């Protein structure tokens, strides 16, 4: 049952007024390392891939009401919907849904609140059981990854940004309310459930040729931290873990299946998943989408450059056994043979890809991709984003090492496996 909005204009106006008095700089980079002036450009898509359109060119400047200055990649990451309101408002009707959602419900769905966008006195007294508070938070751009137009206490337009899935918060006054950290996967977010709740979802499912009830059950079954970026292309439901968006500077190919570099995947997601107004073409998967004005392509270089500044969190002293990690490093490079695939500064041998049967992985996700294979996952900061493998089938690093010991016949003792795990924790 959809809750009716109990509009409280005084609440909205008081929140907005207090926010106007807050001089905190909400655009200050949080956990990003200083930008590396030697950031390499994308290596480009694989041969014959087709996409993306030339990311360095700006064939169409697009609308004049863009939310971000040219070249401000952090702003694009956090605030730019690329015009995807055409999906989230016009098709799915998310603006109607959120007017009946309390902040408590939103937090339960995995949405996050940027505490720095709201004065502390307001957060301390906000009614988290009132949908009007959700509308007020949207009016302040305080819900991470959602950008809405609020007029007269009502949400008239709403879209999503990259930060919805690839930013989280360090909990402050409550779970899900705190300081934003870009690049971390939001493993609390339940995107399938959110989409399935929208009033326009049944018609959207029918437009894909899928029975709405079947589609609803599929998306509700994804669970927090999982998303299927190909469901609306091939009608197969097989979600994968939302990956980190940090540590990508030295990674030649993005995604679990190495379909292309960072710019390729940003382009694919912005157009085919977020629903942005832009163009994307990949002859390998039979996609050729062209929309004007192109509000995606001109922003891809800045978005990429910002992502390249996002470094994985460094391990803190005392969070791993240093002596065991030293032994594990020798095993990693020697007996275990891990360094054969997890090589270089980012611990991946991409652009080399691997057949599913060679790694003991379920082949379905690879079969749905442009490559039919899997990329060795970069390992820096790996301890911070369990579970593991594309499908989350390994709950711990111990399970990862045990899997490869069995599949590859490494012959590691229990003690050796423990040492390799400690080394992984130290990365």
Q: What structural domains does the chain harbor? A: 9-26+47-59+70-189+242-308 (no CATH), 322-426 (1.10.760.10)
Coil/strand/helix, residue 423: helix
In which element (H, E) is residue 158 found?
A: strand 154-160
Q: Is the dihedral of CA 300, 391, 182, 33 positive or negative?
A: negative
From residue 313, give the alpha-carbon distance in Å to each of 22, 42, 100, 167, 345.
Answer: 29, 23, 37, 14, 15
Q: How far is CA 56 from CA 132, 263, 352, in A?
A: 42, 11, 26
Predicted confidence at residue 162, as pLDDT, reads 98
Which tens digit of pLDDT belongs to each residue from 51-97? 444 333 334 444 457 999 989 999 999 999 999 999 999 999 999 99
Q: Tokens 């275990």, residue?
A: 336
Q: Residue 60's pLDDT is what? A: 42
With H, G, I as helix, E, B as strand and everything else as coil, classify residue 122. helix
How far apart, in whole angstroms, are the C-alpha atoms of residue 381 and residue 314? 7
Q: How far apart are CA 243 and CA 185, in angstroms?
A: 6
Say what the pLDDT of residue 64 is: 53
- CA 182 to mean position of chain CA atoms: 9
Residue indicated by tokens 């929140």: 15
Which residue is it, tokens 């899900």? 176
Strands (E), 35-190: 113-114, 146-151, 154-160, 167-174, 177-182
Q: How far is CA 142 from the centre of its chain?
A: 18
Three-state SS at 26: coil
Rounded to whole angstroms, the Cα distance separating 290 from 280 reads 7
- The structure tokens listed for 150 are 């609020």
CA distance 297 to 2: 38
| Rounded-to-integer distance, Cα 120 and Cα 404, Å | 48
What b-and-e string marks burial along 228-258, b requiring 16 or more CB atoms within 10 Å of the CB?
bbbbbbeeebbbbbbbbbbbbbebbbbbbbb
Both structure tokens of 268: 């694919």
Ranges of residues in the chain with a pLDDT under 50 are 1-63
């Amino acid at each position: 049952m959809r809750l009716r909005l109990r509009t409280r204009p005084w609440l909205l106006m008081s929140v907005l007024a207090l926010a106007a008095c807050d001089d905190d700089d909400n655009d200050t980079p949080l956990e990003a390392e200083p930008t590396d002036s030697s950031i390499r450009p994308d290596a480009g898509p694989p041969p014959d891939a087709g996409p993306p359109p030339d990311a360095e060119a700006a064939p169409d400047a697009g609308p004049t009401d863009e939310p971000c200055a040219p070249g401000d990649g952090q702003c694009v990451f956090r605030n730019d919907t690329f015009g995807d309101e055409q999906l989230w408002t016009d098709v799915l009707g998310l603006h109607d849904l959120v007017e009946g959602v309390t902040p408590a419900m939103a937090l339960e769905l995995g949405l996050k609140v940027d505490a720095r966008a709201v004065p502390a006195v307001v957060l301390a007294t906000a009614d988290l059981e009132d949908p009007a508070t959700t509308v007020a938070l949207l009016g302040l751009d305080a819900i991470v990854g959602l950008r809405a137009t609020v007029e007269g206490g009502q949400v008239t337009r709403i879209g999503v940004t990259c930060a919805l899935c690839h930013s989280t918060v360090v909990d402050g006054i409550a779970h899900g309310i705190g300081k934003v950290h870009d690049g971390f996967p939001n493993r609390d977010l339940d995107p399938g459930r959110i989409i399935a709740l929208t009033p326009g979802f049944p018609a959207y499912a029918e437009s894909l040729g899928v029975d709405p009830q079947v589609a609803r059950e599929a998306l509700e079954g994804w669970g927090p931290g999982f998303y299927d970026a190909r469901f609306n292309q091939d009608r197969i439901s097989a979600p994968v873990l939302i990956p980190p968006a940090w540590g990508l500077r030295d990674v030649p190919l993005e995604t679990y299946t190495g379909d292309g570099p960072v710019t390729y995947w940003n382009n694919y997601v912005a157009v085919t998943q977020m629903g942005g107004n832009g163009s994307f073409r990949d002859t390998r998967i039979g996609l050729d989408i062209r929309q004007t004005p192109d509000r995606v392509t001109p922003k891809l270089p800045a978005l990429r450059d910002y992502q390249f500044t996002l470094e994985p969190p460094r391990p803190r002293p005392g969070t791993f056994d240093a002596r065991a990690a030293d032994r594990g490093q020798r095993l990693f490079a020697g007996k275990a043979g891990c360094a054969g695939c997890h090589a270089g500064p980012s611990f991946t041998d991409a652009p080399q890809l691997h057949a599913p049967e060679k790694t003991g992985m379920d082949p379905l996700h690879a079969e749905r991709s442009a490559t039919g294979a899997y990329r060795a996952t970069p390992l820096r900061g790996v301890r911070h984003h369990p579970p593991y493998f594309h499908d989350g089938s390994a709950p711990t690093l111990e399970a990862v090492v045990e899997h490869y010991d069995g599949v590859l016949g490494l012959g590691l003792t229990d003690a050796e496996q423990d040492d390799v795990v400690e080394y992984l924790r130290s990365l």
